[in-house]
Amino acid sequence: MIIDLPSTTTSQLNKKLVEIRERGGAVALGRVLTLVIAAEDDEQLEDAIDAANEASREHPSRVIVVAKGTRSAAPRIDGQIRVGGDAGASDVIVLRLYGPLANQGRSAVVPLLLPDTPTVTWWPGKGPKAPAQDQLGQLAQRRITDAAAENNPIRALRTRSKNYAAGDTDLAWTRLTNWRAQLVAALDLPPYEPITSASVTGEADSPSTELLAGWLAEYLNVPVKRVKTTAAQGIVAVRLDRPSGPIELRRPDGKTGTLIQPGQPTRRVDLHRRDNRDCLIEELRRLDPDEVYEAALRGLTKLSSGRKPTQRSKRGGAAAANGQEPAAESTATKEPEA
């Protein structure tokens, strides 16, 4: 059920929610958190609501979506309430702020927050440089951004690393969960030898590739090369060098990975790209600071970089077709991309 309330107030929205609950019991009271979504446009708004509805089946919540309307319009709030089948296991409140109110999202959200429950703020598109200092970010215990949605993902990621505050996280980091699990599991198998160096290959503008390299650099404390390629999308391959031979995890097609290590049979593992719904569900499972993500951000300063040839070259194309990463054109070290 969707109820539109044009030119409304937060008080009227609250009264309408109580009326719906008393009349039909459509809005349950068992909410564990409030999820605030800062949306930029209608397409992004609907995609974010769909992801939040799916996440609410594991994390029942109140979802408050803040969308900015025309700044030149007269000040008003257009509200919308979604319950039942249109809201998953949550109640969804959409606020469109016009005129001077477009920059007053905090004032509009505060009266609608659930009492005595944590608050999480999510920017599914372009987010603030310092989430903890943003007016909506100040309301939250956890702040979720998505560097992959930025015009310059790597620059956005490095800017946020400088402004990191406890409680910040990014969906580019959450998309790495399966990669990290496979690499840790591989290191648990014999031979138990130290890693001497590592390299991570992926798209030049892939923030997940950057964070994976930073995580390895921080925790392995060895030289890690961030190799940029146009042969495939996202993360392409990880190589961990050991005296007896390297551990290699390759994913040339964006779906299935191949794990190769000395003394072990070659294995195929599921490394499909995770969507926003799965990543949001994972992030809402914890409301404490993510120290591992913070460490990965610190590791970004330790990376060296190189570039691999594209699939246009015969050698690179054949290697990619065989599930192998193309050979590097240069191993020269340069400053990490900002």
**Pairing label, strands 304-307, 224-228:** parallel
**What per-residue confidence (pLDDT) applies to 308?**
59
Question: Pick from 38, 14, 135: which is nearest to 96 by CA?
Answer: 38
Cα–Cα distance for residue pair 106/145, rounded to 1 Å: 17
State whether 29 and 159 are in the same domain: yes
327 domain-assigned: no
Per-residue HEC secondary structure of 203-261 comes to CCCCHHHHHHHHHHHHHHCCCEEEEECCCCCCEEEEEEECCCCCEEEECCCCCEEEEEC
State whether 104 and 184 are in the same domain: no
Question: Pick from 325, 187, 199: which is nearest to 261 by CA?
Answer: 187
State whether 167 and 205 are in the same domain: no
Cβ(37)–Cβ(66) below 8 Å? yes
**What per-residue confidence (pLDDT) applies to 318?**
35
85 domain-assigned: yes
State whether 46 and 19 are in the same domain: yes
**What per-residue confidence (pLDDT) applies to 40?**
83
Cα–Cα distances in Å, from 120 out to 5, 191, 244? 25, 43, 46
Q: How far apart are the first and last CA of the chain?
A: 46
At 289-321, the pLDDT tens digits run 999 999 999 999 999 876 554 443 333 333 333
Segment 312-338 mean pLDDT: 36
Enclosing domain of residue 227: 177-272+288-321
Q: What is the number of residues in the chain? A: 338
279 domain-assigned: no
Cα–Cα distance for residue pair 171/179, rounded to 1 Å: 14
State whether 109 and 192 are in the same domain: no
- Model-level pTM? 0.87
Judged by average pLDDT, the poorest of 75-84, 208-217, 267-276, 297-306 is 297-306
State whether 157 and 182 are in the same domain: no
- 136-153 as b/e: b if 16+ CB within 10 A: bbebbebbbbbbbbbeeb
State whether 225 and 96 are in the same domain: no
**What per-residue confidence (pLDDT) applies to 305?**
73
Q: Report the share of the chain in percent with pLDDT over 90.
A: 73
At 57-78, the pLDDT tens digits run 999 999 999 999 888 899 999 9
**What per-residue confidence (pLDDT) applies to 128?**
96
Cα–Cα distance for residue pair 4/108, rounded to 1 Å: 17
State whether 134 and 182 are in the same domain: no
State whether 261 and 158 are in the same domain: no
Higher local confidence (pLDDT), 206 or 305: 206
Of 122, 152, 174, the residue that ends a domain is 174
Cβ(236)–Cβ(325) below 8 Å? yes
Cα–Cα distance for residue pair 120/252, rounded to 1 Å: 35
> Number of structural domains, the chain?
2
State whether 119 and 233 are in the same domain: no
Residue showing tokens 């138990």: 192
Cα–Cα distance for residue pair 335/338, rounded to 1 Å: 9
Query: Which of the four pLDDT bands, split at 50, 70 and 90, describes residue 25?
Result: low
236 domain-assigned: yes
At 128-181, the pLDDT tens digits run 999 999 999 999 999 999 999 999 999 999 999 999 999 999 999 999 999 999
State whether 81 and 210 are in the same domain: no
Cα–Cα distance for residue pair 168/58, rounded to 1 Å: 21
129 domain-assigned: yes
DSSP string, 297-327: HHHGGG-EEEE---TTSHHHHHHHHTT-PPP
- 2-15 as b/e: b if 16+ CB within 10 A: eeebeebebeebee
329 domain-assigned: no
State whether 28 and 119 are in the same domain: yes
104: tokens are 């007053």
pLDDT(324) > 90: no
**What per-residue confidence (pLDDT) applies to 331?**
31
